[in-house]
Amino acid sequence: MNLRAIRYSRPWRVFIAGFFKENAVAYQLLGLCSVLAVSNKLENSLAMGAGVTFVVTISSTLIALLRRLIPDQYRMITYMIVTSTFVIIVDQVLKALFPPVSAQLGPYVGLIITNCIVMGRQEAFAIKNGAWLSFLDGLGSALSYTYTLIFLAVIREVLGFGTLLGFKVTPAGFENWVVITMAQGAWFLLAIFYWVFRRAARLRPVAEEA
C-alpha cells in the first residue's frame, strides 16, 4: 500500500480525526480535570498520559468486542466496570514501580474512571464499530490528550519550577512563576491553548450562547 492509499483509508482517517482535528481536550472538551490538575510537572503528565492511553485503547477494544453482548440499558454500568478494572491495573502498576509519581497523582489516577474521554469514546464509537477501528479511535483520542498534557506540562514546569523532568533548565536569577503551577495558571494556559488550537485547526467558532 502506498502512502496515498494509507492516507485515504478508513483506519487512518479514524485515527487522525481523533489525533488532531477532534482533539480530546480543545475540541471535545473531555478529560479537563486531569489535564489541568496533573500538568504542573512533565513527569506526572507522562505517567498520566500513558495510563489514560492504556485504559482508553484497551477498554474501547474490549467494548467493541463485546458490543453485541451488551444489553442496551446496561451500557453505562458495563463501561464503568470494564474501565475501573483497567484503572485498578494502572494504579497498582504505578504504586509498585513509581511510588513517588503515584503519591503525587493521588486521586487523579482513580479519576481516570470518570475521565470523560474513556466513556466518551466507548459510547460514541466503540459500541458501534469493530475492534480494530475502535482501538485506533481510542489511540487517536488518547494521544491527543497526551500531547496536550505534555505541551501544558512543559510550559508550566519550566516557568513555574524552573526545571524539566526535575533537571534545572532556567538560568540563575530566574524568578519562579508560582501562579502558573497552581490551578489558576492552568485555567489561563488552557484557555490560550484552546484559542490557538481552534484557530490553527480552523474550527468553526462556537455560536454565541443566549
Contacts to other proteins by CB under 8 A: 29-33, 36-37, 76-77, 80-81, 84-85, 87-88, 91-92, 106-107, 110-111, 113-116, 119, 183-188, 190-191, 194-195, 198-199, 203, 205-210
In this complex, which beta carbon is closest to other proteins, that of residue 86 or of residue 161? Answer: 86
In this complex, which beta carbon is closest to other proteins, that of residue 29 or of residue 124? Answer: 29
For 116-146, the three-class secondary structure string (H helix, E strand, C coil) is: HHHHHHHHHHHCCCCHHHHHHHHHHHHHHHH
Torsion angle defined by CA atoms of residues 55, 58, 60 and 66, in that order, rounded to the nearest 10 degrees: -130
In this complex, which beta carbon is closest to other proteins, that of residue 110 or of residue 162? Answer: 110
In this complex, which beta carbon is closest to other proteins, that of residue 37 or of residue 154? Answer: 37
Minimal distance, residue 30 CB to other proteins, in Å: 7
Minimal distance, residue 188 CB to other proteins, in Å: 5
Name the 3-class secondary structure at 167: strand
Chain centroid, CA 48 distance in Å: 8
To the nearest 5 percent, what fractions of the chain are helix, strand and coil?
70, 0, 25
Minimal distance, residue 205 CB to other proteins, in Å: 4
Q: Are 12 and 6 in contact (CB under 8 A)?
A: yes
